[in-house]
Structure formats: structure tokens, C-alpha cells
Structure 1
Amino acid sequence: MTIYDYSVRDAQGNDVPLKNYEGKVLLIVNTATKCGFTLHYKELEQMYEKYHAQGLEIIDVPCNQFGEQAPGTNEQISEFCTLNYNTKFPQMKKSDVNGTNELPLYAYLKSQKQFEGFGEGKTAQMLDDFIKKINPDYKNTSDIKWNFTKFVVARDGTVAARFEPPAPMSDVEACVAKLI
């Protein structure tokens, strides 16, 4: 199986085969509209505008599994993103990224790039402390830990990198730019 064997549903419920994005650099991210990391939408949109013409596609997968921070319907989430961040990249149907009902795409992504920690800094330590209270063994699974985990996929379909929410967006952009 490759990434191009998977599909997701867009916000209207239409099937979107990832084969449609073959040859592009993909940035796949689970998002939430009521999270401390929601400001990442601004930088994601800036990256999209900067690199889209060169082959970047962002696949936004709203997810309500982390603190129920993606409330509302698909339409309400889309409206929020458009009004507040003027997002133009594709937004998919709100979906699970962990557990029994997780998108098969996310099972694949997690099998390709394991969790390697939150990194350094105050935000990373705060997230580590918080997640430990929910699941003391969280470091030993490849599960998505929180909103705005990002996977970067190279033009050949290989999963090149996984960035946890506290990772600087400049690091994400550097990875994307290298692959463009």
C-alpha cells in the first residue's frame, strides 16, 4: 500500500482519492477550531499561498478527538476557517485520527512516521505534562497526541516527516520547501 491507495471524504462527503495528488507535496494535518494551536491556520494558509503553484497541497482533516476542540458541523468549521483565516486549501470531513473509527489514511501515516516526542520548550513540556495525565504510556504509541499534528509527504508518495503541534511552523515550511 502507498499513500495513493487511500482516500478521504471532503466536507460535503465526496470521496477524494489521494491518487489525485500524485506528484505533489502533501501536508496532511488534523485541525481544530477551538485549540491553542488554531493560529497555525494562518501559517498554513501562508504556506499554501506561497507553494501551491509549485505543487503543495494541504489536506485539512478537522478532528474533535482532543478536548472536543473541533465542535460544530463541517459547514460551521469551514465557515470559521474562511472568515478567520481566509483558508483556501481543501478541508475534509471531520474525522477520527485515532481509535476504532480512525481514517485508514491516518493508520497508514502513523505506521510510516512514529511519535518521536514533542521537542523542547515550554509549550512542548506543557503538552507532555497534560497528555501524561490522560495516558501515562502515551510516548509508546504512534497515536496522534493532539490537534495540529502534521505529516509531510514527498512527491513520490513517501511520508517524509511528522511534526508534533509544538514544532515551529518554520521547521514545517523548511521541510516543505526542500521537497518542492
Structure 2
Amino acid sequence: MKTILLAGLAALTLGCTAAHADGKIFVQLPDLSSYSGVEAEQFLTRVVMANVVSSNCAGYEITEEDWSLLTDSADLLAYGQLKLSVDAYDDGYYKPAFDAVDQPGTCDEFGPDVEKVLTELVGHGGAREPLPDQAKAYEEWRALMDRIEAEAKDASATKVKTKS
């Protein structure tokens, strides 16, 4: 009976962790704090394009670990470095990337950059393997994302629009 109870508890714990993470695999994220201004904008464009191309172009598919590295790195740049609002991030980066992928030749043009972007992210300390403790990784990731998203929201709220 004790064994069944322990097995049930273990399954419940694993189920809760997966539910929290929504199936996401967590990897070591790179340190992108050296990026700012135009350099951060340019690299964010490349990271987002690599994400969109790898998800939509045959021959450029990536692993779930690589996908996490790309998407979380894009968030680090957008919210952490550039302090973008969600709308500015989507409108300025993801919308153009999805528009581009609908055009002929985009996959061939940007597909080779997917591996280059992943290699650059690894060069900044990111990893393409899952972290050993996914439950702990989720907690740390959630805290980081909550912090940088709040900082970006605060920064965009204090920006004053001027007339052109």
C-alpha cells in the first residue's frame, strides 16, 4: 500500500510540474546583457526570424530545447534589454517575421541563419540541452520572466510619446 501511495504521489508531483511548465523544456539561457540599442534590435530580429523560420520552413526544424533557447532569448532581448511592451514586441518583430515567411524565398534566405543564431546564443552561455532539474528551472524561469516583463511594462509606461 505504501508503495502504491508513493508511486501515486510521484506521478502527481510530476504531473504538477508538467502542468506548470505546460510541456516546455527549460535550458540554460544566455547572458545577453551586453546587447543594447541598435545591436539588441538587430539581434532580436535575427532570433525571432530564426524562431519563425525553424517553425515554418521544411529543412530548418529544430529540437524543443533549441526552440526554448530561441524563444526565451528573444524575450530576454525584447523585455530585458529593450524594455518593449508586448504590443511593440509582437508588432515590431513577430508580425514582420510571419509576414516575411509567407513570401517566396524567405526560407532559403533566412534558414541558414537558424544554426548561426543558435551557435551565437550558446557562445553567450546558452545551452541546447535540458537543465537537469526541470521543476527548479521552471521556477527560476518564471521568476525571471515575471521580473523582466514587469520592468519592461514599467519602462514603457514611463515613456512619453511626443508629436511628430
* TM-score normalised to structure 1 length: 0.29
Relative contact order, higher structure (CA 8 A, sep 6+)? 2
* TM-score normalised to structure 2 length: 0.31
Q: Which has the higher helix share?
A: 2
Q: Which has the higher strand share?
A: 1
